[in-house]
Amino acid sequence: MKLRILITVLIVMLAGTAGLRAVSDTTETLPVFAIHALPTKPVCNDTSIDAGTTATLRVLAPVNASFRWYDSETGGTLLNTGNVFTTPALNAETTYYVESEDNTTKCRSARIAVKVSIGAPGGLKVVLINSSESICSGSSVQIGLKSAMTDGTAPYKYSWQPATDLSSSTDSVVTASPDETTKYTLTVTDANDTKGSANVNVIVYPQPDPQIAGNKNIQVGTSVTYSVITPAGTNNKWSVENGTELGSSSGDTYQVRWDNLGTGKIIVEQTLASFDCKASDTIIVTISQDVPQLVVNAGIDKGVCRGGSVQIGDVNAASGGTPPYTYQWNPSNGLSDHKIPNPIAQPNQTTTYRLSVTDSQNSTVEDDVTVTIYPFPGKPEIVSPDAKFENNSFYICNSASITLMSKDVYDGYLWLKDGNKTGVTSRQLETIETGVYTLIVNTQYGCADTSQVNVAKYTPQITLKFDDVKENPANHKGKTHKIHLKKVSYSDELLGACKPDSLYMTVLIHKSIFFPKGRQFKDSANWIIIIVADRIDLSNEDLLDIEGSIILGDTNFSEIIIRDISWGRYGKLGIKTFPVKSKFELTGLSETGGLRLLKFSKPFSLMQIKPNPASDEIEMVINCTENNKVEVNIYNTLGQIVQSAKIELLTGINTKKIELPKEIPSGIYRISVGNMNGFDTKSIIIGK
C-alpha cells in the first residue's frame, strides 16, 4: 500500500475545545453497498409411487425463498409454485425440476432434478437416523442406520455415495462434514448379494459474514452511526466498549457516542434465524482529542482469473478527517461504480487502481491497489490407455475397469461423476462405473477449466454355429469324428478390448448319433448334454472342437443345439450371443441291409455300484439286452478321466469288478459305462 497525502486543509474557525466539538459534533452514516449471491439450491428427496397414483414432492430447504417447478432443466413449462407440488397420476418414471427464488433479492438458483419412480424399491429395507439433517457451514453431523440391520442375511456391506466429506465410506454410521448441501446414498448389501438403499440430505446453512461499516478514527465527543448488511432471515446484536450506546442494538445501524479518550470496540453478532448459525465482526475505534488525520486504505492487491471479477477497496476505506467522504477511483474502466469505497473490479488486463478520498474539509489522500489477471489453464484433454474413444465416449467391457487421466499436468484436479464429487483429486481416476465424468483442473491461482467425457459399456455381439455334419458311419469304424464350432459374425471389439479367453456352454446332440470323447456330459432322455469349458482364441477360425464317435443308433438325424452360454471368468463379460442350430445327418443306413439301426436307445443299464463309498475296488451290476463290449471310465469332478477299462458283457445280469488306482484321491467320482450304442452313469464316493 502506497499512501500519498496530497492536500491537508484544516481550518479552525474557533479556538478551544468547544470550537473543535462544534465542528465534529455530528452523526455520520457511511454508505453500504450489497452484492447479492445466488440463493441456495432447493433440497428435495426423490420418491417412489405405485403406477397410476400421484406423488407429493416437498422442498425441505432453504427458508425465506419461493419455489418454481418445471418439466425440464432449463426453459420448459412452469408446472407449479410453492414448496409442495402434487404431480398428476403417473405410470412411468418422471423427473421434475425445481428452483428457488430469494424473497428479498429475487435472485434465482439453478434447478435441481427430483425423480419419481414407479413401484416401491425392492431389496433390503434400509432405515436411516433421519432423511434430512441441517448443519452450519464448517460443522459436522452423524448420519447412517437408525439401528442394526434386521432385513436380509448377515454379514452386511455398506457403501456411501458420494464418499467425499465423510469420516468413512464403508461404515453403517458416519460423520458428514460437507461444504455445501449434499444428498448422500447408503447402499447395503447382504450375504446373498441382495441390496437396499436410502438417501439422506445434509443441508448446509451458510455462516453469516458481517462487516461493520463506520469511522474508526474519531474525535472525542463525536456520535457515529455504524452499519452492517443484514441478509434476510438474519438477526443482529450490537455492543460497544468504552462508548455510549444510543438507541437500538438490534437493527441494521448502531449509534454510539464516544466520550472517552483511548480505544473502543464496536461488535456485532449475526444469527441466522432459521438455524442457529452465528458469526461476529469487531472493529477497533481510536478516540483522539483532536480531529484525527484522514487515512485511506484501498485494500490488499487482488488476483482474478481472466473474465472474472473481484471486490477491491474496503467498506471502511476511509477513516479520520471530517466526514462525510467522497470517493474517486481511477481508472474507472472495469469498475461497477467508481464513486464507492468497495466496487467490483472486472478489468480485461492487469490494472493498478488509485482510490482518492476527500473529506468535508477538502483534505485528500490516495492509495493504490493492483488487480492481477491470471490466465486459465486451458481445457484439459481426458485420455485413457484402456478404452476406445468415440463420440466423446470411452467404451469398456462389462466388469472391466477404465483409467481416465489428464493428458497434461496441472496444479490441481477434481473428478466428478454425474455432477457429484468422487473424492479423487489426483491426475487420474480408475472406475468400473458408467456415467458422465467431469475433470476440473486449476492453476495455483484458482483459475479452472473443465472437460467432460462419457464412460459407456460395449454391447458386443457374436453368432455361433457348429459345422453341419453329413457322414456315412461305415467310413468311421474305429475312428472318431470332430464337430467344429465357428463364429458366423461378431463385433470388432471381441477381437480387441472385450476379447474373452474362455467359453462356457452346453451342447445337445441326440444320443443315437454321437458319443463324446474326453468331455464331461450328462444323459437326458434322448440327448447327450455335453459340457464345454474351454480356453479359446477368437482370432482362430475354429473356436473349439468336440471329438467323439458316430453311433449306429435308432435315428439318422439330430440337431446340434447350443445353450447356457457364458464368456470369461464368472460369465460377466456381457457378450450378447446368438446360437444357430446345426444339422447332424447319417447316410448309408438301411432297415433291411447294410448297417443296421438299433431298435432301442439304451442296450444296457448300470444298475448298481458297490460298495459306495468304496476304497480299493468296486463291483458293478449291469443289465444287458444283448452281448456288448463297453468302455468303463471313471471321471473326477473336473470331467477328467482318472481310470479307463474295456469289458465284455453278456445278455442279462452281469457282475464286474474293477480295482481302483492306489493313488486316486478321496472325493466324488462318476462311473460311465458305454459304447457307440449308448451309455449309463452313476456317482460314487471314494475314500482312502
Question: Under DSSP, is residue 362 helix (H, G, I), strand (E, B) or coil?
Answer: coil
Residue predicted with more confidence, 303 or 90:
303
Which residue has cell 475296488? 617
Over the chain, what is the mean pLDDT? Answer: 85
Distance CA 651, CA 256 (A): 123
Distance CA 7, CA 515 (A): 113
Comparing 228-242, 283-297, 477-491, the range with the smallest average pLDDT is 477-491
Closest CA to 558 of 520, 591, 530: 530
Which alpha helices (DSSP H) does 109-215 contain, by range?
none
pLDDT of the residue at 589 = 62
Comparing 13-27, 140-154, 556-570, the range with the smallest average pLDDT is 13-27
What's the grid cell of residue 438?
A: 467431469
Is it the case that residue 294 has pLDDT exceeding 70?
Answer: yes
pLDDT of the residue at 569 = 63
Cβ atoms of 200 and 130 within 8 Å: the answer is yes
Q: 65 — phi, psi (to 5°)? A: -145, 155
Cβ atoms of 440 and 448 within 8 Å: the answer is yes
Cβ atoms of 449 and 441 within 8 Å: the answer is yes
DSSP state of 15: -
pLDDT of the residue at 288 = 93
Comparing 6-20, 59-73, 599-613, the range with the smallest average pLDDT is 6-20
Rounded to the nearest 5 degrees, what angle is found at the Cα of 555, between the Cα atoms of 682 and 672?
15
Name residue 554's amino acid: D
Give the pLDDT band (50/70/90) at residue 390.
confident
Is it the case that residue 53 has pLDDT exceeding 90?
Answer: no
Which helix or strand (DSSP H or E) is residue 148 part of? none
Comparing 176-190, 243-257, 491-505, the range with the smallest average pLDDT is 491-505
Distance CA 189, CA 123 (A): 9
Structure confidence by residue, pLDDT tens digits, 328-363 = 999 999 999 999 999 999 999 999 999 999 999 999
Which residue has cell 469511522? 215
Give the pLDDT band (50/70/90) at residue 24.
very low
Distance CA 98, CA 311 (A): 31
In order of start, what are the domains of the chain with their CATH numbers?
47-118 (2.60.40.10), 132-205 (2.60.40.10), 382-454 (2.60.40), 461-586 (2.60.40.680), 604-686 (2.60.40.2550)
pLDDT of the residue at 274 = 77
Which residue has cell 432449463? 74
Give the pLDDT band (50/70/90) at residue 400.
confident
| Mean pLDDT for the stretch of residues 415-435 | 89
Is it the case that residue 4 has pLDDT exceeding 50?
Answer: no
Closest CA to 486 of 441, 446, 523, 540: 540
Distance CA 646, CA 666 (A): 24
Structure confidence by residue, pLDDT tens digits, 218-251 = 999 999 999 999 988 899 999 999 999 999 999 9
Distance CA 436, CA 200 (A): 23
Give the pLDDT band (50/70/90) at residue 118.
confident
Centroid of chain to Cα 318 = 50
β pairing state of 3-7 and 182-189: unpaired
Is it the case that residue 82 has pLDDT exceeding 70?
Answer: yes
DSSP string, 639-673: S-EEEEEEEEE-SEEEEEEEEPPTTPPSEEEEEEE
Residue predicted with more confidence, 480 or 374:
374
Q: How many CA atoms lie within 13 A of 99 on its CB side?
A: 20
pLDDT of the residue at 483 = 93
Q: Torsion angle, CA of 660/666/668/669, rounded to 10 degrees?
A: -30
pLDDT of the residue at 560 = 94
pLDDT of the residue at 36 = 54
Which alpha helices (DSSP H) does 309-438 contain, by range?
none
Give the pLDDT band (50/70/90) at residue 18.
very low
Residues near 3 by beta carbon (within 8 Å), at least 6 away in sequence: 295, 296, 365, 366, 367
DSSP state of 342: S
Cα–Cα distances (Å) from 364 to 135, 199, 287, in that order, read 47, 60, 21
Distance CA 132, CA 145 (A): 13
Give the pLDDT band (50/70/90) at residue 591.
very low
What's the grid cell of residue 457?
A: 459399456
DSSP state of 109: P
Residue predicted with more confidence, 600 or 162:
162
What's the grid cell of residue 549?
A: 464317435
Q: 71 — phi, psi (to 5°)? A: -100, 5
pLDDT of the residue at 597 = 42
Q: 495 — phi, psi (to 5°)? A: -100, 5
DSSP string, 244-285: EEES-SSSSEEEEEE-SSEEEEEEEEEEETTTTEEEEEEEEE
Q: How many CA atoms lie within 13 A of 322 on its CB side?
A: 18
Is it the case that residue 34 has pLDDT exceeding 50?
Answer: no
Three state DSSP letters for 453-518: EEEEECCCEEEEEECCEEECHHHHCCCCEEEEEEEEEECHHHHCCCCCCEEEEEEEEECCCEEECC
Dihedral over Cα of 231, 235, 239, 245: its sign: positive
- 362-401 as b/e: b if 16+ CB within 10 A: ebbbbbebebebbebbeebebbbeebeeeeeebbbbbebe
Closest CA to 657 of 613, 687, 622: 622
Give the pLDDT band (50/70/90) at residue 122.
low
Q: Is 545 left (phi over 0), alpha (psi -120 to 50) or beta?
A: beta
Is it the case that residue 27 has pLDDT exceeding 60?
Answer: no
Distance CA 190, CA 185 (A): 16
| Residues making up the chain, counted from first to last | 688
Whether the bond between 31 and the residue before it is cis, its omega within 30 degrees of 0, is no
Three state DSSP letters for 537-603: CCCCCEEEEEEEEECCCCCCEEEEEEEEEEECHHHCCCCEEEEECEEEEECCECCCCCECCCCCCCC
Q: 492 — phi, psi (to 5°)? A: -60, -35
Centroid of chain to Cα 273 = 35
Q: Torsion angle, CA of 288/293/298/299, rounded to 10 degrees?
A: -40
Is it the case that residue 35 has pLDDT exceeding 90?
Answer: no
pLDDT of the residue at 58 = 86
Is it the case that residue 618 has pLDDT exceeding 50?
Answer: yes
Which range has the top average pLDDT, 2-11, 52-61, 118-127, 184-193?
A: 184-193
pLDDT of the residue at 164 = 84
